[in-house]
Structure 1
Amino acid sequence: MIMDLKKLEEKYAVPSRELLEDVKQIEGDIMLLGIAGKMGVSMGKLLVDALRAVGKDNKVYGVSRFSDPKAKAQVEESGVIAIACDLLNDAELFNLPEVPNVIYLAGHKFGTVGNEDFTWAMNTYLPGRVSEKFKNSKIVAFSSGNILPFVKLNQGGVDESGTPEPIGEYAQSCLGRERIFQYFSKKNQTPVLIYRLNYAVDFRYGVIMEIGKSVLQGNPIDLRTENVNVIWQGDANEIAIRSLLHCESPAKILNVTGPETLSTKWVAEEFAKLLGKPATYAYEAEGTALLNNASECHRIFGYPKVTIREIIELTAQWLQEGGEEFGKPTHFQERGGQF
């Protein structure tokens, strides 16, 4: 392949000056719970690289069941201390090391239908157990823009003051996760930041890659949800780490995404130009979308550094050259909450 994965990661996963300045202020060890998902492995590496670059020796732990040995090997290669743990097992959870800083990435989305009880256990019950275990820590807790209502495009995205209207059991359980972290933040005076994300993208997965792949393969693109928000995974990782300095009690809610309200059709047409193939479409736009107003995030952390045009161009080249994919579709077109 012309595009070398390691060189790409070196270019797009180098800690920024802002991240380096902030990790200097992070006191104590850091634990990433649920590190083996789409973002966790790269986040752990970024954090280790940033700490090393500023001469700090904070330990970084990565916790997961590690059902895939490859994921554990990747975690360990980056300098993260991997701990195999079933977080739903109280004995294993409460045996984890005490750390001052926790980034909570654990959750369950795809396969919710038919497995609703496990989804609620992971997304709503487990946050309460984690909150008790790490009541003396700062916690950045990942949540989802799926809890927000569909809004008309001329309204703009929903900010942190908006009233949640989750559709389907996955989104309902995510709201449950937020409420549980909020409850224990008040009860135990635990500083928490609820990191409400949609959608992180990388050249190997996410909304942008899925649209580009559809254009490349000649598959029609569903236009019912014609607009989306996205943010480059590396920028999202940096914001998650830097958020450890912004945890509060009561919990602070922070919407995290890019600044644009993107047209799905515009993204497809950009891919059509780059790939030399026509974009085709299915269905009519329904005039509403799950849109996230992240202006507070941009005020605190600045705008994301990787632009949407860079993301599209990089993804188009990666797809043309047959690059690997994570194989985890977003189902961003889903409007009925069925995951």
Structure 2
Amino acid sequence: MNQYPEEILNEKQLEMLLSRPTEATVDMFKEMDGDIIFLGIAGKIGPSLAQMAKRACYMAGVSKRIIGVSRFSNQDEQAYIAGMGIETIKGDLLDETFLGGLPKVKNVFFLAGMKFGSEDNLSLTWAMNSYLPGLVVRHFKDSRIVAYSTGCVYPLVPIRSGGSRENDRPEAVGEYAQSCLGRERMFEYGSKTNNTPVALIRLNYAVEPRYGVLVDIATKVKENRSVDLSMGHFNAIWQGDANNMVLRSLAQTSVPANIINITGKETLSVRNVVAKFAQVFGVVPLLEGKEADTALLSNPDKSHELFGAPEVPIDKVIVWTAHWMDSDKKTLGKPTHFEVRDGKY
């Protein structure tokens, strides 16, 4: 399972790598009861996460109903997901009548949320990130729920600290992070009130050659734009590894809700990553600012103890991303705004 190519040639190969289940994931599906629903499937992570679940079911020799729910503003994306053999349901999760009509399956993954442009529409940000989770945890009170959160609920910490741990007190800076902490509190409330097993995934950051912090940095280097060093360090994890950990988190749901940081172990230097991309692109990088003594960092020891360390080294992902972008392949055009230090996304 640990044989990976030197270069990713196309999106088909990329999607197969992103959705490749580990043996441990397949083994979990052999024992897991119930069907699966992905709420907010049509995002950056949802399609590969659902496809991994589909592949794991096939490899485990089990048959499960797998459902993906989204507004599906892009019909091609709905067709693509349906083509995986995943049942799609189109609708607005904030519509309580629609949400109330969704099948109450045993296993729920909550991926819906708002980050990009959150400062431009704060009421919708709070509705998606805090109000909706309250509705979801009530409707699916008899299910197991794995809900995506974010490392942004933590404060900036010293770069040599090893990152924030799950039992550290959150200090959400800015309304986006505050609304995400609200999301967690709603799931925690539902877990305690209705005895609903929940796992909250504080992800920080999942990357692949089309999207993520590495693409943000590589884009600026390739286009001869300056890279801001003030947020000079970060964590990252190959999205395929994150997908496996998130699926396996179904077996780690609990009452009260179980919080799990998912990211890579390394504290990566923006300056060093810039230098690696500059070497591949054959350019002299432009840097501005100076590294601060603090950064948004998470400690992943708990998840690595539960699920094992990531299979794909982050240096390999950097190489994959560099070759992908050097060949002018497709990127998603959705910057992470990882440079932000004041919480305003």
Structure 1 alignment gaps of length 5 or more: none
Contact persistence 2:19–2:243 (CA under 8 A)? no
Q: Deviations over 1:258-292 (max 9, x none)?
A: 11110111111111222222222111112110100
Are 1:183 and 2:189 matched, yes or no? yes
Are 1:333 and 2:339 matched, yes or no? yes
Are 1:265 and 2:275 matched, yes or no? no
**Match of 1:102, as an amino acid?**
V
Q: Supply the distance in 1 between the matched residues of 2:13 and 2:95 (Cα, whole angstroms).
A: 39
Q: Supply the distance in 1 between the matched residues of 2:219 and 2:259 (Cα, whole angstroms).
A: 34
Q: Deviations over 1:167-217 (max 9, x none)?
A: 111000000010111111000000000011011101000001111121111
Are 1:67 and 2:60 matched, yes or no? no
> Counterpart in 2 of 1:34?
40
**Match of 2:150, as an amino acid?**
S
Q: Supply the distance in 2 between the matched residues of 1:248 and 1:112 (Cα, whole angstroms).
A: 30
Are 1:129 and 2:135 matched, yes or no? yes
Are 1:46 and 2:46 matched, yes or no? no
Q: Supply the distance in 1 between the matched residues of 2:46 and 2:80 (Cα, whole angstroms).
A: 11
Q: Supply the distance in 1 between the matched residues of 2:316 and 2:291 (Cα, whole angstroms).
A: 26
Deviation at 1:12, TM superposition (A): 4.7
Alignment partner of 1:24: what SS? helix
RMSD: 1.3
Instruction: State which of 293, 296, 300 in structure 2 corresponds to 1:290.
Output: 296
Are 1:310 and 2:316 matched, yes or no? yes
Q: Supply the distance in 1 between the matched residues of 2:341 and 2:175 (Cα, whole angstroms).
A: 13
Q: Equivalences for 1:197-276 in 2 at 5 Å?
A: 197-276=203-282
Length-normalised TM-score, structure 1:
0.98
Q: Supply the distance in 1 between the matched residues of 2:16 and 2:134 (Cα, whole angstroms).
A: 37
> Counterpart in 2 of 1:76?
82
Q: Supply the distance in 2 between the matched residues of 1:149 and 1:302 (Cα, whole angstroms).
A: 26
Are 1:23 and 2:23 matched, yes or no? no
Contact persistence 2:197–2:253 (CA under 8 A)? yes
Instruction: State which of 112, 115, 122 in structure 2 corresponds to 1:109.
Output: 115
Q: Supply the distance in 2 between the matched residues of 1:63 and 1:251 (Cα, whole angstroms).
A: 23
Number of residue-to-residue matches in the alignment: 339
Percent of aligned pairs sharing the same letter: 45
Alignment partner of 2:200: what SS? strand
Deviation at 1:65, TM superposition (A): 0.6
Structure 2 alignment gaps of length 5 or more: 1-7
Contact persistence 2:19–2:49 (CA under 8 A)? no
> Counterpart in 2 of 1:171?
177
Q: Deviations over 1:222-277 (max 9, x none)?
A: 10000000011111111111111110001000011011110111111111222222
Deviation at 1:114, TM superposition (A): 2.8
Contact persistence 2:18–2:239 (CA under 8 A)? no
Contact persistence 2:234–2:267 (CA under 8 A)? yes
Contact persistence 2:18–2:48 (CA under 8 A)? no
Are 1:98 and 2:100 matched, yes or no? no
Alignment partner of 2:147: what SS? strand
Length-normalised TM-score, structure 2:
0.96
Structure 1's consecutive aligned runs of 4 or more residues displaced over 6 angstroms after TM superposition are none
Deviation at 1:11, TM superposition (A): 4.1
Deviation at 1:7, TM superposition (A): 2.6
Instruction: State which of 95, 104, 125 in structure 2 corresponds to 1:119.
Output: 125
